[in-house]
Amino acid sequence: MLDLILAKDPRYHRDAYLFVRDALDYTQKNISKTGKGEVRHVSGQELLTGIRQFALRQFGPMTLTVFEEWGVRRCEDFGELVFNMVDIGLLGKTAQDRREDFAQGYDFVEAFKAPFLPRNRIQAPVR
């Protein structure tokens, strides 16, 4: 099935699609832990949060490098990946789901690089 997507839209690496699928599973599990234990539909914003958490766990400070290799440079790219999978029936969507839901995401440098930068040193009290 992914071959169909890649033939139609070669912008993203195959692994990006596999990652989004895994990140969706990760997100649904996390949401079900905080809810009633039921798997439910995940919004674009919820998926972006899950993608961020999952990526940091999987790739740590290499996240930006991995995403760059896959052709993923902004949150909107995740929307494209998701809707490419929706278009061929690999993922479902509701009537309210839109590609634009991923446009209100986060800055990649802030989300994936900043957590690994050294924090500013707290000044020691003057004696």
- DSSP state, residue 126: P
Question: Whole-angstrom Cα distance, residue 127 to residue 117?
Answer: 29
Per-residue model confidence as pLDDT tens for the chain (127 residues): 899 999 999 999 999 999 999 999 999 999 887 666 666 789 999 999 999 999 999 999 999 999 999 999 999 999 999 999 999 999 999 999 999 999 989 999 999 999 998 876 544 555 5
Q: Where are the domains of the chain?
A: 14-33+40-114
Phi/psi of residue 121, nearest 5 degrees: -70, 135
Q: Which of 23, 94, 93 is nearest to 54 (CA)?
A: 23
SS3 of 4-26: the string is HHHHHCCCCCHHHHHHHHHHHHH
